[in-house]
Structure 1
Amino acid sequence: MVDVTRVMESLAEQGVTVLFKTDAERMRDGTKPWTFVASGAPFRDDLLVRTDAVSVEACLEVCLPRLREYGLVIPD
């Protein structure tokens, strides 16, 4: 299991701002209520790494590999 706090702290130390949120309306509708957004200094041209998913884990499965592609160090 991924330690979300550790991942977020590591990204912040590398200049990345991370936002996790859950949307009550989408939760009631059963449609991808979780959102992950990462932005900040390591990205050029105001690039974001973002996804909407059914769970925190699903967000991480999509976004962590993309963040690694940008050269960021993500703890296991």
Structure 2
Amino acid sequence: MTGRKGRWPKIDQDTGIEDTALLILEWLAERGVNAMIRVDAERVAESSPVWTFAASGGPLEKGMRADGASAAVCLSLAVAKLREIGVDVPY
């Protein structure tokens, strides 16, 4: 952790959500949420979404997962799902 709670760097809105991935993961961890994003090469052969975001713990009553064909799609879906269940991710 950075030890800089509440003092996040400004994000360039012209770059993709992938640029904020680590900030999102760190922000979630500071709130007691266990989270990860991964890529699964085996799913490429299956023509399945290869990126997965998973989170559990903290304010989440149960775990959640989002899958996408790219890191950007996966993270965007994950942030949208987190917001739907009441975790207001600031990115």
Shorter chain as denominator, the TM-score bin is: 0.7 to 0.9
Distance 2:32 2:85 in 1: 13
Look up the match of 1:5: 22
TM-score by length of 1: 0.82
Distance 2:81 2:51 in 1: 17
Gaps of 5+ in 2: 1-15
- Asked if the contact 1:10/1:73 (under 8 Å) is kept, the reply is no
Aligned with 1:30 (options 36, 47, 59): 47
TM-score by length of 2: 0.70
What is the aligned length?
A: 74
Look up the match of 1:14: 31
| Larger strand percent | 1
More relative contact order in 1 or in 2 (CA 8 Å, sep 6+)? 1
Which ranges of 4 or more aligned residues in structure 1 deviate by more than 3 Å? none
Deviations, residues 43-71 of structure 1 (Å, cap 9, x unaligned)? 22xx1110221011111221112212333
| Larger helix percent | 1
1:60 maps to a residue whose letter is L
Is the radius of gyration larger for structure 1 or structure 2? 2
Deviations, residues 9-52 of structure 1 (Å, cap 9, x unaligned)? 001101111111111111244321111101112122xx111022
Gaps of 5+ in 1: none
Q: Calculate the aligned-residue CA RMSD, in Å.
A: 1.5
